[in-house]
Structure 1
Amino acid sequence: MPLAPLPLALFGAFAHAQSTLAPAGASSAASSNVSASASSGTTGATLAPVFVTANPLGETDLSSPTTSVSGDALVMRSANSLGETLNGLPGVSTTTYGPLVGRPIIRGMDGDRIRLLQNGVAAYDASSLSYDHAVPQDPLSIERVEIVRGPAALLYGGNAIGGVVNTIDNRIPREAITGVTGAIDASYGGANDARAGAAQVEGGNGQFAFHVDAFDRDTSNQRIPGYAHSAQQRAADGPDADQPYGSIPNSDGRWHGGAVGTSYTWADGYAGISYNGYDANYGSVAEDDVRLRMHQDHVAIASEVRNLQGPISQLKFDFGYTDYEHREIDNGETSTTFRNHGYEARLEARHKKIGPFEGAFGVQVSQNTFSALGDEALVPTTTTTNVALFGLEEWKVTPALKLSLGGRLEHVKLDPVDSSGTKFDGSSARDFNAGSLSAGAIYKLTPVWAVSANVAYTERAPTFYELYANGPHDATGQYLIGNPNAQKEKAISTDLSLRYENGPNKASAGVFYSRFRNYLTEYNTGRLVDDSDTPVPAGTDDALNEAVYRGVPAEFYGIELDGHWRVYEHGPHRVSLGLTADYTHARNVDTGSPLPRISPLRTTLDADYGYGPFGAHAELVHAWAQHRVPEDDLPTASYTTLAVALSYKFHVGKTNWLAYVRGDNLTNQDVRFASSVVRDIAPEGGRSVMIGMRGDF
């Protein structure tokens, strides 16, 4: 995990100050929190968070394994992509397709099994379809990230069977604002000469509030310690192949965007609307002549009413509409256009206590239409409709024991357009009824020790590409063929963890196990084909591996450790140490063969020192080699990286400033993530230094 920049701290910190939903640096025994006080020696009150993603009841003690990152801790991790920003948190890795593309992976599961949300609802894109499709979110615009490890299908649907990543911002102000405040920042440096800047202004009269933000990032090709291709890949390339050295060709990019939002607030709630836009233009590291141009428009409406009379005490409504498009430009010509547009709406109601039970229930409705037109028309244009009911109840049996039980029923319909006379001829509509149940418990052994356990049964309907795919996919070197008869994916999952919390000292140790009855994944048939799925001999230029989707029994299990300790505090001096480690084992139960792209055992040691306005942070990461790979994959070597950041806070008049310098991968290691589909042609960045400054007013 690279150490992220200290830039743009006020951007997140300021937005954080405007929200009482989750104070900066919040932490709790129920969640593995990266606290603001643990980064760069910063200080501040530590308050229990309201973890909105894992529980609509506003609890601080959660049985689900969760992580919340906010404030200075989020600034320290902020990187070019959402996946890279979160990579290295317990159980979290990233896909990566060059320096600008990365989607979070949780416990070895990616794609449609991980639900990415913005403020609790979907913002549609194409990132789950292909590893070269970026997530259209810039970490500069995020106030807080909440991660639920393990099944979150109860609240968010079958495609949260592996977990949820919810990014939260203040584009719709949730609390009253009086006056005008803002933040501005700029940074330069890094392994790809990143020039980044962001600005934000918020204001209000105590009732009406507004928010405006903008960001811009421009990067050059990423520098690397040696060859772009691994030694194994160079041997397979042959002696006459060109071998890029020192940088990754076509890895540059630029993206920018911004948002405007407004709300009306009162003592017991708020209602508001926002718009945000995102544009990107970046290269494909697997194809030197291919650029991806992306645009997303997203409109959100949100409201919450508290302290209602009658049996319902609180109502919360969230709505999001997204219009997304990206074009893949090959030698200056558009080869494929991907579009995805649709909406998602959620209404949650919290009821007053009924006997010993406290709970919430709700309805969720969504519909989106996805199309891929052109040379890489992988799937027919398909409309997916989802309607669901869910509920969650909690019972505090004793002061030490709390139980929870929840369920969800959803109906999913996938409807491809008439494709007569095309390669998608015969694609027919499919309907699925999916159900999920979960039960959890927290038992406090002592005031500082607790045990948490969860068990869940979840179902996931197949996606449009798992059902209808029939086309070339150059980004992964495959010709993908869907399974029109695919059935629901079913899993039973369990978690067990031991937790400790005593002031600034927090630790957790957990194990997890998931067993899938019908795990849908692609398997190579062994045939080499061309773009029309016609067999070709080995050695043919641009030959693709034919792959089909099929369901197999699979299991995932592993361990997660996370702890942070304040080892010294005297006057203005503070020293903290941290340890994080995780391991995931995933296999096909029938054959015993490993599943692809699973991160190896990783450990992170970190140290923080603070003295007044000065801060220092050091982080040492070691990842073991990954030899448990499918037969057609290459193993990855181990690596050890070191990152260091120094910061200084000062004031000029009424403006607060933060200056920083940061060094990443100071050991200049050749880092190739086992979770990356392009690990053998595009490693992570080499040694780099970044400087920056930011201020708020």
Structure 2
Amino acid sequence: MVSHSFLRPLALPAALALAFSSGARAQSTEPVPARLDPVVVTGNPLGSPEIAAPTSVLAGDALTLRRASSLGETLTGLPGVSSSYFGPNASRPVIRGLDGDRVRVLGNGGAALDAATLSFDHAVPIDPLVVDRIEVLRGPAALLYGGNAIGGVVNAMDNRIPRQPLKGLSGTAEVRAGGAERELGAAAVIEGGTEAITWHVDAFGRDTEDLSVPDHVPVEDGTPLESTDRVRNSSSRAQGGALGASLFFDHGQTGLSVDTYKSNYGVVVEPDVRIRMKRDHVAWSGEVRDLGGPLRKLQAQLNHTDYHHEEIEGSGEIGTTFRTRGTELRLQAEHAPLGPVRGVVGVQAEDVDFSALGEEAFVPTTSTRKLALFAVEELDWRGGTLQGGARVERVKVGSEGDADPADARFGPATDRRFSLASASLSNVYRFDSAWSMTAALSHTERAPTAFELFANGVHAATATYERGDPTLGTEKGTNLDVSVAWKKGPHQQVRLGAYTTRFSRYISLDASGRDIDVVEDGGTEQVPEYVFRPVRARLSGVELEGRTRLLEGTWTLDASGKIDLTRGKNLDSGEALPRVAPMRATAGLAVGTGGWTGRAEVEHAARQTRVPSTDRETPSHTLVNLALSRRFSQGASMDGLFFVKLTNVGDRLAYNAASIDTVRGLSPLPGRALKAGVRVSF
């Protein structure tokens, strides 16, 4: 756990004084050289300057200003991206209406291998404080990352295995305080080395209190509670750190890192339950470039994760312990051009063991083994840049069955085997230097997860009895994505895209209409039964985003905006798919001068009326957010950013339509709050 003593040395008043004094002394009048947009890494193994998949990138000042206590809340509001929002601490990204196992969360391109996809109250063990770049790939990315990337990929990138040699010493420190969660957080990164060896050290800590929200009447299991302006049991403490180093040689590099993440946070739906989480992770990567012969570049990546969390009852007893141990190996090779065709081939293997032991364990001990081969080929032709690829994958999901022969919930030990095949074809066509059009068609297949196959018990987080189906087949979907984009310079761009995904077999968790009698504490209560079953489904939507510079000179004025809309339908029942965000629109204005930038933003979410019969409608809301930041420097060796932001200026009561109904009535979105922070680099 994080103690306040860890954070006090980076107290906010000292940091604010540093920001203003340094900025006042060092205002540079030299012109800033033009910078090219960095190449997107995720889903782009050939390093092409443009890719067909719609991608959002958060880095630099934009990431600093958006950081939240969870990965989901950091990304929510990006085009097509919302969050599951199980309170402020457990929030996974939702991409185009798809969440859980259908969104692949990566760290530096490697699988997270945690328990976050099992339940909405399980947090992702990646803290945005130490991440320096996040890439979000919307739409299927199954060729490179597996069938469970059917909805998209979130890749949180840091420099724990240094990617470039560094001579000398450099570092970054950040401190932030305030917000609706009364956060006190700090992070520091120090790196150094020579042309041959570069090392990395980082540490972070975060402490939050119960979330402040507008006055409201919480609803628990359909019953109104007393009015309050707090979200109960939503405080958290987290800390972690990493050590890493890379060795560089003439045509490549190799590196190793070890990191740990600890968190203790409250479960909003259970007022006296907290989760104590710990993840230990070891990563190795290597690359050899400029090879002669049939292979030009070889890349390898190995990740091993040991994750566990304990659900602590109010009495201090451990109710349930979840544990995941997993190893991922990825090998990728870029082959020599075959005429005009260039491409990569690769192999990926995963080995994951999972166990849930205790009174609320609704899934048996399981193992999942995956082995896949993939290839991506690219061709420049008169019609643009054409890219095609294929992936074949074998998956084995096994259950150890009932640990106690007297307990017949999970049955005998068994396993299921799946053969998966995915393929895609895309093209990027550039009309001229400003206009371009992209189109992508893909077919993806996903094996059902262990809990979709073998779950059988009460899921406390959702207050339901979840029942898996050991006979489930492969989930299959076909996606079409088209877009038109215009870009002129760094400040003028517009993108309009549309997509549709049709599932011939979509694994849906639906109410069966039955109630299950559950014995607890000597009494019996009825819990609604939900069953994993295959259905036909369709998701489609539109995304429009753009920005433009309205004023250039001593003062700058920039306008930006976004609109996205997703519709999901169960084609068998005719009802809407659950937890899909409504139409959302955001408009912002940013004014800047002399290192200062002020931004005003209006976010609107429409009323969500398209819900299944087991859910409730979510009212619309409009939120106003303000931010002021200043870049500063001292000499040529230090620069930084000071910021202060006021969110939900009108203190409006708002709810997240993408969260489950169990928690939605207990945890509104944050109320009006002021947060300030400083980030310094040297």
Task: Find the counterpart in structure 2 of residue 553 from structure 1.
Answer: 536
2:346 corresponds to: 362
Q: Aligned residue for 2:482?
A: 496
Is 1:566 equivalent to 2:543 in the alignment? Answer: no
Task: Please list, as runs of the form range in 1=range in 2, the aligned pairs for 1:194-205 lying within 5 A after superposition.
Answer: 194-205=183-194
Aligned partner (choices 666, 669, 681) of residue 684 of structure 1: 669
Partner of 1:643: 625
Secondary structure of the structure 2 residue equivalent to 1:243: coil
Aligned equivalents of 1:84 and 1:242: distance in 2? Answer: 26
Amino acid at match of 2:393: E
For the residues of structure 2 that align with 1:285 and 1:555, how far apart are their CA atoms?
A: 32
- The answer (yes or no) to whether the contact 2:69–2:127 under 8 Å persists in 1 is yes
Structure 1 segments of 4+ aligned residues over 6 angstroms from their partners: none
Instruction: Give the match for residue 302 of structure 2.
Output: 319
Aligned to 1:147: 136
* 1:393 alignment partner in structure 2: 377
Deviation larger for 601-610 or 430-439: 601-610
Amino acid at match of 1:508: R
Counterpart CA distance in 2 for 1:43 and 1:80 is 33
With the length of structure 2 as denominator, give the TM-score of the two structures: 0.92
1:35 is matched with none
SS of residue paired to 2:148:
helix
1:245 to 228, 241, 265: 228
Alignment match, 2:466: 480
Instruction: Name the residue aligned to 1:83.
Output: 72
Helix, strand or coil at the partner of 1:634: coil
Shift of 1:446: 2.1
* Corresponding pairs, count: 645
Structure 1 equivalent of residue 498 of structure 2: 511
Residue of 377, 381, 387 corresponding to 2:365: 381
Local SS of the residue matching 1:72: helix
Contact 1:382 1:415 in 2 (8 A): yes
Match of 1:310 among 290, 293, 315: 293
Is the CA contact (8 Å cut-off) linking 2:517 and 2:524 kept in structure 1? no
Change (3 A) 1:498 1:215: same
For residue 442 of structure 1, the aligned residue among 428, 447, 466 is 428
1:30-63 Cα shifts (integer Å, max 9, x gaps): xxxxxxxxxxxx9774313222211200011111
Q: Deviations over 1:457-503 (max 9, x none)?
A: 11111100000001111110111110010000011110010011110
| SS of the residue 2:391 aligns to | strand
Q: Distance in 2 between matches of 1:93 and 1:123?
A: 19
How far, CA to CA, are the matches of 1:298 and 1:542 in structure 2? 41
Q: Does 1:288 align with 2:271?
A: yes
CA distance in 2, matches of 1:66, 1:509: 13
Matched, 1:166 2:151: no
Work out the CA distance in 2 between the residues paired with 1:630 and 1:494. 25
Q: Is it true that 1:668 corresponds to 2:651 in the alignment? A: yes
Paired letter, 1:274 = S
Query: Structure 1 residues 311, 171: CA separation in 2 closer, same or farther (over 3 Å shift)?
Result: same
Residue identity matched to 1:209: T
How many Å apart are 1:657 and its aligned residue?
A: 3.7
Return the offset for 1:188: 1.0
2:396 corresponds in structure 1 to 413
Is residue 183 of structure 1 aligned with residue 181 of structure 2? no
How big is each residue's C-alpha offset from its partner over 1:627-654, in whole Å with a ceiling of 9 and x where there is no partner?
1111121111100111111112333454
Please name the residue that 1:4 is paired with. Answer: none
In 1, distance between residues paired with 2:358 and 2:34?
Answer: 55
Does the Cα contact within 8 Å between 1:573 and 1:610 map onto a contact in 2? yes
Q: Which amino acid aligns with 1:98?
A: G
Q: Please list, as runs of the form range in 1=range in 2, the aligned pairs for 1:207-226 lying within 5 A after superposition.
A: 207-226=196-215
Higher deviation after alignment, 98-107 or 521-530: 521-530
The Cα of 1:242 is off from its aligned counterpart by: 3.5
Cα deviation, residue 387, structure 1: 0.3
- In the alignment, the residues of structure 1 paired with residue 640 and residue 401 of structure 2 have an alpha-carbon distance, to the nearest angstrom, of 59
Secondary structure (helix, strand or coil) at the match of 1:288 reads coil
Shift of 1:442: 1.2
The partner residue of 1:347 within 325, 331, 337 is 331
Listed as ranges, the matches of 1:573-592 within 5 Å are 573-592=555-574
1:459 is aligned to 2:442 = no
| Residue matched to 1:34 | none
Alignment partner, residue 659 of structure 1? 642
Q: Which moved more, 1:418-427 or 1:99-108?
A: 418-427
Q: Secondary structure at the match of 1:73?
A: helix
CA distance in structure 1 between the partners assigned to 2:318 and 2:279 by the alignment = 18
The residue number in structure 1 matching 2:509 is 522
SS in 2 for 1:159: helix
CA distance in 1, matches of 2:440, 2:173: 43
Taking the aligned partners of 1:44 and 1:226, their CA distance within structure 2 comes to 49
- Counterpart CA distance in 2 for 1:546 and 1:643 is 41
Deviation at 1:370, TM superposition (A): 0.7
Letter in 2 for 1:187: R
Deviation at 1:693, TM superposition (A): 2.2
Task: Indicate if the aligned counterparts of 1:263 and 1:271 stay in contact, CA closer than 8 A.
Answer: yes
Q: Which moved more, 1:525-534 or 1:652-661?
A: 525-534
Q: CA separation of 1:394/1:533 partners in 2, compared to 1, >3 Å: closer, same or farther?
A: farther
Is 2:519–2:525's contact at 8 Å kept on the other side of the alignment? Answer: no
Per the alignment, residue 597 of structure 1 pairs with 579
User: 1:690 Cα shift?
Assistant: 0.9
Distance 1:413 1:56 in 2: 27
Looking at structure 2, the residues matched to 648 and 584 of structure 1 have their Cα atoms a distance apart, in angstroms, of 36
Rounded Cα–Cα distance in structure 2 between residues aligned with 1:208 and 1:592: 60
Match of 1:18 in 2: none
Alpha-carbon contact 2:245-2:257 (below 8 Å) kept? yes
Secondary structure at the aligned position of 1:459 is classed as strand
Q: In structure 1, how many angstroms separate the alpha carbons of the residues matched to 2:217 and 2:89?
A: 16
Residue 226 of structure 2 aligns with an amino acid whose one-letter code is Q
Report the AA paired with residue 390 of structure 2: G
Using the TM superposition, give the Cα deviation of residue 524 of structure 1 relative to its aligned residue in structure 2, in angstroms.
1.1
Show the counterpart of 2:126: 137
**In the alignment, which residue of structure 2 is the partner of 1:471?**
457
The alpha-carbon deviation at position 680 of structure 1 amounts to 1.4
Give secondary structure in 2 for the equivalent of 1:112: helix
- Which secondary structure does the structure 2 equivalent of 1:287 belong to? coil
Whole-angstrom distance in 2 between the partners of 1:345 and 1:574: 48
Amino acid at match of 1:56: P
CA drift of 1:119 comes to 1.0
Structure 1 portions without partners, runs of 5+ = 1-7, 9-41
Aligned residue among 52, 62, 70 for 2:59? 70
Letter matched to residue 648 of structure 1: R
| Secondary structure of the structure 1 residue equivalent to 2:372 | strand
Inter-partner Cα distance in structure 2 for 1:174 and 1:596: 41
- Residue-by-residue CA offset, 1:196-252 (whole Å, 9 max, x unaligned): 10111000012111000001000011111112526xx79x41xxx642401011110
The residue type equivalent to 2:46 in the other structure is L
Cα distance between partner residues in 2 of 1:73 and 1:267: 35
In the superposition, the TM-score normalised over structure 1's length comes to 0.90
C-alpha distance in 1, partners of 2:384/2:548? 26
Distance in 2, Cα, partners of 1:612 & 1:349 = 47
CA contact (8 A) 2:446 2:475 kept: yes
Partners of 1:524 and 1:496 in 2: CA distance: 35
Q: Give distance in 1, aligned partners of 2:306 and 2:82.
A: 28
Instruction: Check if 1:277 corresponds to 2:266.
Output: no
**What residue identity is the alignment partner of 1:110?**
D
1:300 aligns with 2:257: no
